[in-house]
């Protein structure tokens, strides 16, 4: 019956489904990091709703708050009216923002991360009167036209999205496959100088853009953390040239990287912070915070029916509070460091692991051809087929992981911040076994 249902679903839904194909399970119950399938099998979930579930599945503080609102008789749909629930959410959110709670304006967007990206792009275009955008190789920002235009993966763009504005693509500092073909951690330095040249050389072809958009740790691009110095350099350059800096923290936010917002590691304060996923505590919610000076929108300039869902706001408030009050940001940093250390030890024994990288609980293993030829900077060819086998062997051992990266060859780990030490041990053991089994 389970197989029948999965097959029916496959026939009914679009061919674009992805997770359903790589994870042929029928989840019926979930708690914390554990997902239970209809067949009674239990899985440790290192996907966490694509990085959404900071507190794992069905955390009691989240469920209690959702239940409280449902029982209270409060209206569930209020358009963008003020409510007690929204007041608590905005108070809690503002207190987390980089540089302190003052000087920010919030805009509630449509329910998804991509809606918040659209709002950020449009706002900076309104505020500057310019249209072009600087974006980065490997960046991912969503599936709507503007967000897709600033995303890098060409395979997702066919046919190309309508050219609403010009995008100038700059190299993101990705050391393992350095875009300039040099090793030794030089990618950040050269990428920064390249960006500077594009902005200052009157013959670079770049007209002054409305914004620069980047991720502090690229997620879908293969879990690539930007060095702090490079981020500070992007902040300096954009400030000098009067370009609003949009940081997309849809995936990195709410403690995931070992700071509440990933930009905090570098001390950078962006002009626009894009937020979704974890801020809704497992329900759909997307918000941008932007510096007051950018507040150029007239009433009605950017609207939407679903903005700031009441249940998502209370779930998000509960999540943010629980993360802060229980030291989960610090714990993500600590546990992440331990996982990175142990995975680097594993890399010493497993030539299929080309690179181990990440920050906090946003970790990636780049899978490469174990006996493939190394290029001049030591990188071996990506091995997407082996990565797929590893994902399958993980699932067979009760571990849910997903793939990402330039060639879908990066095994990505996004465990919830509430992962226990014992669960870390189990995840690492199952992953090591899976890699060993996939190579056989």
Q: Hey, what are 15's tokens?
A: 């061919």
- Using rule CB under 6 A, residue 112 touches ligand PMP: yes
* Measured distance CA(190)–CA(246) in Å, rounded: 21
Residue among 85, 220, 355, 393 that touches ligand PMP (CB under 6 A)? 220
By CB under 6 A, residue 215 contacts ligand PMP: yes
Nearest-approach distance from CB 250 to ligand PMP, in angstroms: 4
Single residue of 37, 173, 219, 253 touching ligand PMP by CB under 6 A: 219
From candidates 251, 266, 309, 317, binder to ligand PMP by CB under 6 A:
251
Shortest distance (Å) from residue 252 CB to ligand PMP: 7
Instruction: Please choose, out of 36-44, 93-101, 107-115, 344-352, the segment that lies near ligand PMP by the rule CB under 6 A.
Output: 107-115
Q: What is the C-alpha separation between 220 and 14, in angstroms, rounded?
A: 21
Which of 117/231 has CB closer to ligand PMP? 117
Q: Would you give the binding string for ligand PMP spanning residues 66-105, x where CB under 6 A is met?
A: ----------------------------------------
Does residue 114 touch ligand PMP according to CB under 6 A? yes
Tokens 């930007």 label which residue?
226
Residue partners of 282: CB distance under 8 A and separation at least 6: 49, 52, 53, 57, 58, 62, 315, 319
Q: In this structure, how many other beta carbons lie within 10 angstroms of the beta carbon of residue 291?
A: 18
In the complex, which residue's CB is closest to ligand PMP? Answer: 113
Q: Any contact of residue 317 with ligand PMP (CB under 6 A)?
A: no
Q: Please choose, out of 19-27, 106-114, 206-214, 343-351, the segment that lies near ligand PMP by the rule CB under 6 A.
A: 106-114
The nearer residue to ligand PMP, 144 or 326, going by C-beta atoms, is 144
262 vs 434, beta carbon nearer ligand PMP: 262
To ligand PMP, the closest distance from the beta carbon of 268 in angstroms equals: 16
CB closer to ligand PMP out of 220 and 264 = 220
Q: Total number of residues binding ligand PMP (CB under 6 A)?
A: 15
Q: Does 141 bind ligand PMP (CB under 6 A)?
A: yes
Closer by beta carbon to ligand PMP, 50 or else 182: 50
The distance of closest approach from Cβ of residue 173 to ligand PMP in the complex, given in angstroms and rounded to an integer, is 17
Contact pick of 45, 85, 233, 248 for ligand PMP (by CB under 6 A): 248
Contacts (CB under 6 A) with ligand PMP, residues 272-311? 276
Nearest distance from residue 140's CB to ligand PMP, in Å? Answer: 5
Q: Toward ligand PMP, which CB reaches closer, 140 or 306?
A: 140
CB closer to ligand PMP out of 121 and 418: 121
Q: Which residues contact 94 (CB under 8 A, 6 or more apart)?
A: 101, 104, 106, 289
Residue 250 touching ligand PMP (CB under 6 A): yes
Answer yes or no whether residue 360 interacts with ligand PMP by CB under 6 A. no
| Residue 50 touches ligand PMP, criterion: CB under 6 A | yes
DSSP strands (E only) in 253-339: 272-275, 287-291
* Piece in contact with ligand PMP (CB under 6 A), picked from 76-84, 139-147, 159-167, 170-178: 139-147
**Among residues 284 and 372, whose Cβ is nearest to ligand PMP?**
284
- Among the listed residues 35, 97, 117, 273, the single contact to ligand PMP using CB under 6 A: 117
Q: Which of 37, 138, 142, 405 binds ligand PMP (CB under 6 A)?
A: 142
Q: What would the 3-class secondary structure string for the chain be?
A: CHHHHHHHHHHHCCCCCCHHHHCCCCEEEEEECEEEECCCCEEEECCHHHHCCCCCECCHHHHHHHHHHHHHCCCCCCCCCCCHHHHHHHHHHHCCCCCCCCCEEEEECCCCHHHHHHHHHHHHHHHHCCCCEEEECCCCCCCCHHHHHHCCCHHHHCCCCCCCCCEEEECCCCCCCCCCCCCCCCHHHHHHHHHHHHHHCCCCCCCCCCEEEECCEECCCCCEECCHHHHHHHHHHHHHCCCCEEEECCCCCCCCCCCCCHHHHCCCCCCEEEECHHHHCCCCCCEEEEEHHHCCCCCCCCCCCCCCCHHHHHHHHHHHHHHHHCCHHHHHHHHHHHHHHHHHHHHHHCCCEEEEEEECCEEEEEEECCCCCCCCCCCCCECHHHHHHHHHHHHHCCEECEEECCCCCEEEECCCCCCCHHHHHHHHHHHHHHHHHHHC
Interacting residue ranges for ligand PMP, rule: CB under 6 A = 50, 112-114, 117, 140-142, 215, 219-220, 248, 250-251, 276
């Amino acid at each position: 019956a389970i197989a029948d249902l999965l097959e029916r679903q496959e026939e009914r839904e679009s061919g674009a489904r992805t997770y359903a194909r790589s994870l042929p399970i029928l989840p019926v119950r979930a708690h914390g990091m554990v997902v239970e399938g209809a067949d009674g099998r239990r899985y440790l979930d290192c996907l966490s709703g694509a990085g959404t579930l900071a507190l794992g599945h069905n955390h009691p503080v989240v469920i209690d708050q959702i239940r409280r609102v449902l029982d209270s008789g409060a209206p569930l749909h209020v358009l963008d009216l003020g409510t007690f629930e929204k007041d608590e959410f905005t108070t809690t959110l503002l207190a987390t923002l980089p540089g302190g709670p003052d000087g920010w304006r919030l805009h509630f967007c449509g329910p998804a991360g991509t809606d918040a990206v659209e709002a950020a792009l449009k706002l900076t275009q309104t505020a500057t009167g310019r249209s072009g955008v600087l974006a980065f190789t490997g960046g991912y920002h969503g599936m709507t036209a503007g967000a897709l235009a600033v995303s890098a993966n060409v395979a997702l763009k066919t046919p190309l999205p309508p050219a609403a504005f010009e995008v100038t693509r700059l190299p993101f500092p990705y050391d393992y496959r350095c875009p300039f073909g040099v090793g030794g951690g030089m990618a950040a330095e050269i990428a920064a100088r390249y960006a500077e040249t594009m902005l200052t050389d009157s013959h670079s072809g770049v007209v002054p853009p409305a914004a620069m958009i980047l991720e502090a740790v690229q997620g879908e691009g293969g879990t690539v953390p930007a060095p702090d110095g490079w981020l500070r350099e992007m902040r300096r350059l954009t400030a000098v040239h009067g370009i609003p800096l949009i940081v997309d923290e849809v995936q990195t936010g709410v403690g995931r990287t070992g700071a509440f917002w990933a930009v905090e590691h570098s001390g950078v304060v962006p002009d626009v912070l894009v937020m979704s996923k974890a801020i809704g505590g497992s329900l759909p919610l997307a918000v941008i915070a932007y510096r007051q000076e950018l507040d150029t929108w007239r009433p009605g300039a950017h609207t939407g029916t679903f903005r700031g869902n009441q249940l998502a706001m209370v779930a998000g408030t509960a999540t943010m509070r629980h993360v802060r009050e229980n030291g989960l940001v610090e714990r993500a940093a600590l546990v992440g460091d331990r996982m990175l250390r142990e995975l680097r030890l594993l890399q010493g024994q497993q030539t299929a692991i080309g690179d181990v990288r990440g920050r906090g609980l946003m970790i990636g293993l780049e899978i490469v051809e174990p006996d493939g030829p190394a290029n001049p900077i030591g990188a071996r060819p990506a091995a997407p087929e082996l990565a797929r086998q590893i994902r399958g062997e993980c699932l067979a051992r009760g571990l849910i992981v997903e793939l990402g990266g330039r060639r879908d060859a990066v095994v990505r780990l996004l465990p919830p911040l509430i992962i226990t030490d014992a669960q870390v041990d189990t995840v690492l053991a199952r992953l090591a076994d899976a890699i060993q089994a996939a190579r056989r």
